[in-house]
Amino acid sequence: MDLQPIHPEPKSFLRRYVFSLDHKVIAKQFLWAGLLFLLFGGTLAMMIRWQWAYPMKPVPILGPLLLSKTGGAITPALYPAIFTMHGLIMIFFAITPILIGAFGNYTIPLMIGARDMAFPTLNMLSFWTFLVSQGLMIAAFFQKMGAAAAGWTTYPPLSDSVGTPGWGQTLAVLAIFVTGVSTIMGGINYVTTVIRFRAPGMTYMRMPLTVWGLWLTSILNILFVPVLGSGGLLLLLDRLFGTQFFIAGASAVNGGGDPLVFQHLFWIFGHPEVYILILPAWGILCDLLSFFARKPAYFYKGSVYAMVAVTLLSAVVYGHHMYVTGMSPLLGKGFMTFTVMISVPAEILFVNWLLTITKGSIRLEPPMLFALGTVFVFGLGGLTGLFLAIMSMDLYLHDTMFVVGHFHLTMASASFLASLAGIYFWYPKMFGREMNKTLGYAHFWLSTVFITLVFTGQLVAGYSGQQRRLFEPYQYQFLHHLLGVNQWTSYFAFALYFTQILFVYNFVASMFLGEKAAENPWQVGTLDWATPSPPPHHNFDVVPLVLRGPHELSDPEVIRSLGRDWIGQAEALPDERPVAEPARAAEGGRA
């Protein structure tokens, strides 16, 4: 039996709920912090949508509260700050903490049969560092010259001290650096935990695909977040100390810095980042589709290798963000080839999902519906990605709303819906209560329909030539006719926003009113469902001995001998001798 160290159960309130070392508590902290900022970032998005539907008209509700000086309307100076902060908040302070901070922390130790993360103190520090970065982000709003306004990509010269003077931009860049440090701390923990703390018998090829996705994401995080860190650091030096790394100067006299170098650093990080945000979602999808189709995941190893291939390729495609920067067409062709290549493993995953649910006994519970919704919006997003990957097409579509629609379908919609799938799925385990299913169904249908309409609306506007980030698009003659499309897109966006009231109510109220959850309400075999709901402080009384893969569903032998269609990963059949794989069993026990 593999003995694993764990910190003793804390007694005081502070150690138990605030400065907790327990991965389950830290996961909930990340979840709350992420959900709050999701609401916050969503509100900012509504302000952008308002401006595009009713340019320069006073914003209802929020306008009188926040913008009293301008009579409630958004000014041209404020507008860039709104979309910049929306992007930064959603990516770094909402999706990242929910998908990686919350699900990573909650599921990895439970799913691999560990009692906690490898470095619990580091885990706690990771959350508190993250909270500091969120604080810096909030502080950026209250600066004299306004919040960060150089776009989420923070390109110099727009982001240097001349382009966006004042502390707002500085604090936002600092916040990104600090949140990067938090992400790296988390990444070190996840990667080490998966390598060292798997229960005996939990081979890599028996790990749930959720864990695979999170693990690969963490590897990308520890490799590429520091690259963004280096860019942010040099940008801070430029802003605060007057260095000239990214400031183009009189090169004849004493050389010049180069703003383009920042774009390289940014996208060397930035392209892996989109996979950082989607790999955990893919992993969750792979598992949920199998669980709720009551079938083993189709071609499990194929999904694993496809995710590994995406992870590797994601490091060499970043140039497709920079086709129009004067990049050599030859280099561009190389990036184009890799970009098109990366869709092959993505297709393999997609086909695996479809074949997993084919002829399954599908149970359309809320988590499954959200998983299917994710497959749908990700499919749309992936297909529009092919347009942008091709250089000749990108010349036309670059910096239009088409790009915005594309990455909102993949990074935003798919991650958002997959997060919801995960929340509906693990909620009974996390909080020991069931969520209301009727509200869940309503939430699913409204959310999925509206989110699809919002971002296809953006695709249409972009394909018709509307550039992104315009304050008042209709001042251009050729965009006049797009007012209708944009207004309808905005109505759908408002509807999407207010639909989330259903979720907020369900999420909060179910903690008190929900039915007590059973140990394994979804009847699946992974280890996280082999402990009470919610799990005790040490997760498992006995570290389980894993005997099989994560998706042993509808196995005829299991049905015959146990009378049900699922079997736990660590559950032995009546006539089975519980032996882990020899290699791992020998390693068990403490040296």
Partner 1 sequence: MSEAIAQMADLSRTGTAVPLDRGSSLRDENTAKLGMWIFLGSWAMLFAGLFFTYGAIREATARWPPAGLPRLPLGLPALNTLALLASSALLQLGLSRTRRGERAALAVFGAFSLGLIFLSLQLVVWTQVWKSGMTVTGGPYPSVFYGLTAFHALHVLVGLAALFVLWIGCASGRIGAARHLALSLWTLYWHFVGAVWLIIFASVYLA
Amino acid identity, position 255: G
Q: Print the binding letters for residues 102-121 with partner 1: x by CB under 8 A, - otherwise.
A: -------------x--xxxx
If one asks whether residue 254 binds partner 1 (CB under 8 A), the answer comes out as: yes
Mapped onto helix, strand or coil, the DSSP state of residue 400 is: strand
The answer to whether 326 contacts partner 1 (rule: CB under 8 A) is no
Q: Which is nearer to partner 1, 14 or 542 (CB)?
A: 542
Shortest spacing between CB 542 and partner 1, in angstroms = 6
- Ramachandran area for residue 255 (φ above 0: left; ψ -120 to 50: alpha; else beta): left
- CA distances (Å), origin 230, targets 51, 128, 160, 390, 440: 35, 22, 15, 30, 43
* # binding residues, partner 1 (CB under 8 A): 59
Q: What does R_g of the chain's alpha carbons equal in angstroms?
A: 24
Whether the CB-CB separation of 375 and 413 falls below 8 Å is answered with no
Alpha helices in 103-208 (DSSP H): 103-112, 120-141, 167-196
**Which one of the spans 1-9, 31-39, 78-86, 399-407 is the region binding partner 1 (CB under 8 A)?**
1-9
In one-letter notation, the amino acid at residue 376 is F
Cα dihedral 445, 451, 454, 457 sign: negative
Task: Give residues 549-578 in contact with partner 1 (rule: CB under 8 A).
Answer: none
Which residues from 208-247 bind partner 1, rule CB under 8 A?
222-227, 229-231, 233-234, 237-238, 241-245
Whose Cβ is closer to partner 1: residue 238's or residue 571's? 238
The pair of structure tokens assigned to 12 is: 């005081």
Q: Given candidates 60, 71, 256, 329, which one binds partner 1 under the rule CB under 8 A?
A: 256
Ramachandran quadrant class, 170 (left: phi over 0; alpha: psi -120 to 50; beta: rest): alpha
Residue placing its CB nearer to partner 1 in the complex, 256 or 578:
256
Of 233 and 439, nearer to partner 1 (C-beta) is 233
Q: Which stretch binds partner 1 (CB under 8 A): 45-53, 193-201, 311-319, 576-584?
A: 193-201
Dist. CA 123–CA 512, nearest whole Å? 28
Per CB under 8 A, the list member of 5, 64, 484, 578 interacting with partner 1 is 5
CA angle 480-486-490, nearest 5°? 150
Which residues from 263-282 bind partner 1, rule CB under 8 A? Answer: 264-265, 268
Do residues 40 and 584 make contact, with C-beta atoms less than 8 angstroms apart? no
CA distance 487 to 477: 17
Asked if 347 is part of the footprint of partner 1 (rule: CB under 8 A), the reply reads no
| Residue of 144, 359, 577, 590 interacting with partner 1 (CB under 8 A) | 590
Identify any residues that bridge with 400 across adjacent strands, giving them in sequence order. Answer: 467
Provide, rounded to whole angstroms, the least separation between the CB of residue 158 and partner 1: 18
Residue 144: half-sphere exposure toward Cβ, Cα within 13 Å: 2
Shortest distance, position 21 Cβ to partner 1, whole Å: 7
- Nearer to partner 1 by C-beta: 196 or 481? 196
Instruction: Quote the least distance from Cβ 124 to partner 1, whole Å.
Output: 9
Nearer to partner 1, 29 or 413 (CB): 29
Angle between helices 259-293 and 209-241 (to 10 degrees): 160
Nearest approach in angstroms of CB 14 to partner 1 is 15
H-type helices in 314-365, by residue range?
A: 329-357
Q: Which of 359, 542, 556, 582 binds partner 1 (CB under 8 A)?
A: 542
Contacts of residue 365, Cβ cutoff 8 Å, sequence gap at least 6 = 292, 424, 437, 522
Interface contacts to partner 1, rule CB under 8 A:
1, 3, 5-9, 21, 115, 118-122, 184, 187-189, 191-192, 195-197, 222-227, 229-231, 233-234, 237-238, 241-245, 249, 251-258, 261, 264-265, 268, 538, 541-542, 590-591
